[in-house]
Amino acid sequence: QKEVEQDPGPLSVPEGAIVSLNCTYSNSAFQYFMWYRQYSRKGPELLMYTYSSGNKEDGRFTAQVDKSSKYISLFIRDSQPSDSATYLCAMGSGNTPLVFGKGTRLSVIA
Protein backbone atom coordinates (compact mmCIF):
# COMPACT_ATOMS: atom_id res chain seq x y z
CA GLN A 1 0.00 0.00 0.00
CA LYS A 2 1.36 3.39 -0.96
CA GLU A 3 1.80 5.94 1.80
CA VAL A 4 -0.55 8.42 0.15
CA GLU A 5 -3.35 7.52 -2.25
CA GLN A 6 -5.03 10.11 -4.44
CA ASP A 7 -7.37 9.52 -7.37
CA PRO A 8 -5.71 11.07 -10.44
CA GLY A 9 -9.01 11.85 -12.14
CA PRO A 10 -9.52 13.62 -14.43
CA LEU A 11 -12.44 15.31 -12.74
CA SER A 12 -14.67 17.55 -14.82
CA VAL A 13 -17.34 19.76 -13.24
CA PRO A 14 -19.53 22.66 -14.39
CA GLU A 15 -18.76 26.17 -13.23
CA GLY A 16 -20.30 26.89 -9.84
CA ALA A 17 -20.18 23.29 -8.64
CA ILE A 18 -18.76 22.19 -5.32
CA VAL A 19 -15.63 20.13 -5.83
CA SER A 20 -14.44 17.48 -3.40
CA LEU A 21 -10.87 16.21 -3.62
CA ASN A 22 -9.60 13.49 -1.32
CA CYS A 23 -6.53 11.61 -0.16
CA THR A 24 -6.03 8.67 2.13
CA TYR A 25 -2.82 7.78 3.88
CA SER A 26 -1.39 4.88 5.80
CA ASN A 27 1.29 6.46 8.00
CA SER A 28 -0.22 7.44 11.33
CA ALA A 29 2.92 9.46 12.12
CA PHE A 30 1.96 12.21 9.68
CA GLN A 31 1.47 15.41 11.64
CA TYR A 32 0.77 18.09 9.05
CA PHE A 33 -1.24 18.15 5.90
CA MET A 34 -1.19 20.42 2.89
CA TRP A 35 -2.89 21.00 -0.41
CA TYR A 36 -1.06 22.43 -3.39
CA ARG A 37 -2.40 23.61 -6.72
CA GLN A 38 -0.28 23.16 -9.83
CA TYR A 39 -1.05 24.77 -13.15
CA SER A 40 0.38 23.21 -16.26
CA ARG A 41 4.14 23.73 -16.55
CA LYS A 42 4.33 25.64 -13.28
CA GLY A 43 5.54 24.82 -9.79
CA PRO A 44 3.06 23.81 -7.07
CA GLU A 45 1.44 26.65 -5.15
CA LEU A 46 0.45 26.19 -1.51
CA LEU A 47 -3.30 26.45 -0.97
CA MET A 48 -3.97 25.15 2.51
CA TYR A 49 -2.12 23.62 5.41
CA THR A 50 -3.25 22.23 8.72
CA TYR A 51 -1.72 20.45 11.68
CA SER A 52 -4.80 18.97 13.32
CA SER A 53 -8.02 17.15 12.67
CA GLY A 54 -11.00 19.27 11.77
CA ASN A 55 -11.82 21.90 9.21
CA LYS A 56 -9.95 24.96 8.04
CA GLU A 57 -11.55 27.47 5.75
CA ASP A 58 -9.99 30.08 3.49
CA GLY A 59 -12.32 31.83 1.09
CA ARG A 60 -13.83 29.27 -1.27
CA PHE A 61 -11.52 26.53 0.00
CA THR A 62 -12.04 24.24 2.98
CA ALA A 63 -9.50 21.66 4.09
CA GLN A 64 -10.68 18.80 6.23
CA VAL A 65 -8.55 16.30 8.13
CA ASP A 66 -9.76 13.14 9.85
CA LYS A 67 -6.76 11.55 11.51
CA SER A 68 -8.77 8.65 12.91
CA SER A 69 -9.74 7.61 9.39
CA LYS A 70 -6.45 8.77 7.81
CA TYR A 71 -8.42 10.79 5.31
CA ILE A 72 -8.08 14.38 4.13
CA SER A 73 -10.25 16.43 1.82
CA LEU A 74 -10.24 19.73 0.00
CA PHE A 75 -13.55 21.34 -0.90
CA ILE A 76 -13.84 24.10 -3.47
CA ARG A 77 -17.08 26.08 -3.44
CA ASP A 78 -18.43 28.00 -6.42
CA SER A 79 -15.76 26.52 -8.66
CA GLN A 80 -14.41 28.71 -11.45
CA PRO A 81 -12.68 27.88 -14.75
CA SER A 82 -9.53 29.39 -13.21
CA ASP A 83 -9.60 26.57 -10.65
CA SER A 84 -8.76 24.13 -13.45
CA ALA A 85 -5.43 22.65 -12.38
CA THR A 86 -3.88 19.63 -10.74
CA TYR A 87 -4.37 19.45 -6.97
CA LEU A 88 -1.76 17.67 -4.91
CA CYS A 89 -2.20 16.57 -1.34
CA ALA A 90 0.94 16.41 0.77
CA MET A 91 1.74 15.37 4.27
CA GLY A 92 4.69 14.93 6.57
CA SER A 93 6.14 14.59 10.02
CA GLY A 94 9.15 16.07 11.74
CA ASN A 95 11.78 17.31 9.32
CA THR A 96 11.29 14.71 6.62
CA PRO A 97 10.37 15.81 3.07
CA LEU A 98 6.69 16.00 2.27
CA VAL A 99 5.05 12.90 0.82
CA PHE A 100 2.84 13.81 -2.11
CA GLY A 101 -0.18 12.21 -3.65
CA LYS A 102 -0.18 11.71 -7.41
CA GLY A 103 -2.45 14.71 -7.90
CA THR A 104 -6.01 15.05 -9.20
CA ARG A 105 -6.56 16.87 -12.49
CA LEU A 106 -9.58 19.13 -12.27
CA SER A 107 -11.37 20.85 -15.14
CA VAL A 108 -14.08 23.40 -14.43
CA ILE A 109 -16.20 23.94 -17.51
CA ALA A 110 -17.76 27.35 -18.13
Partner 1 sequence: GAVVSQHPSRVICKSGTSVKIECRSLDFQATTMFWYRQFPKQSLMLMATSNEGSKATYEQGVEKDKFLINHASLTLSTLTVTSAHPEDSSFYICSARSASQGNIQYFGAGTRLSVL
Residues that bind partner 1 (CB under 8 A): 32, 34, 36, 41-46, 49, 88, 90, 92, 95, 97-98, 100-103, 105
Burial 25-34 (b: 16+ CB within 10 A, else e): beeeebeebb
Rounded CA separation 78/60 (Å) = 7
Q: By C-beta, is 14 or 95 nearer to partner 1?
A: 95
Q: Which is nearer to partner 1, 50 or 62 (CB)?
A: 50
| Smallest distance, partner 1 to C-beta of residue 98, A | 5
CB 25, min distance to partner 1, A: 14
Residue 17: how many other CB atoms lie within 10 Å: 15
Spatial separation of the C-alpha atoms in residues 97 and 71, rounded to whole Å? 20
In whole angstroms, the minimum distance from the beta carbon of 97 to partner 1 comes to: 6
